[in-house]
Amino acid sequence: MVTLSAQPYDYEFPTYDGVALIIIDMQRDFLEPGGFGDALGNDVSRLQAVVPAIQSLQQAFRDRNLLIIQTVEGHQPDLSDCPPSKRCRGQSALKIGDPGPMGRILVLGEPGNAIIPALAPQPGEIVIEKPGKGAFYATPLGGILQEHGITHLLFTGVTTEVCVQTTMREANDRGYECLLVEDATESYFPEFKQATLEMVRAQGAIVGWTATTAQVLAALA
């Protein structure tokens, strides 16, 4: 086991097996102008700022042949897996399934639904397509983690308070030891990110731990 300096106290994880890097929804629809995040009126440049940190973690896990799992949020072209309550929520100009500058919004296979080139998965790396906010709902993620003997999860990606936090809480309920990498996750709203960091590590890491990219890389080294 390796000890990582973290909040609210040190986090221990196995270095050569049992740990996986989870990269949540680093897709064009959320990070680039013309995508779903932009259509909702958000400043997408905030999310782009965490790409270098995630890249460094991604490379560190690749160098050590450790498991990397990416997720993308998206729906079937007929929207059969998108409930009306999700599609119709809000008053944005573009809704899920509508044609946009990068193809149909949040539809699997469309250009906007792709992971950004800077974090593109290598052949053989796992990408989970999820119809909801949490990566365990209606996906094979649970089975994949069990198959690989994973017990510890390091979380990165966007957005902190929605898909990242939801997946982290799902994992916590399933017994996984979770850590959220503070500078490798982001929100369109800085106060929401800060609140999430404080919530997950409160009460003795009730949901999980938090640490910086530098702290994670130091522990891996």
∠ at Cα 199 (48, 69), nearest 5°? Answer: 50
Bridge-based pairing state of the strands 177-186 and 103-104: unpaired
Q: Are strands 11-13 and 2-4 parallel, antiparallel or unpaired?
A: antiparallel
Please tell me the distance from the alpha carbon of residue 22 to that of residue 5, in angstroms, as a whole number.
Answer: 19
3 — phi, psi (to 5°)? -100, 130
Are the C-beta atoms of residues 52 and 183 closer than 8 Å to each other?
no
The residues that are catalytic are 25, 130, 163
Element holding 36 (H helix, E strand): helix 36-39
Longest dimension (CA), the chain: 50
3-state SS of the chain: helix, strand, coil percent to 5? 35, 25, 40
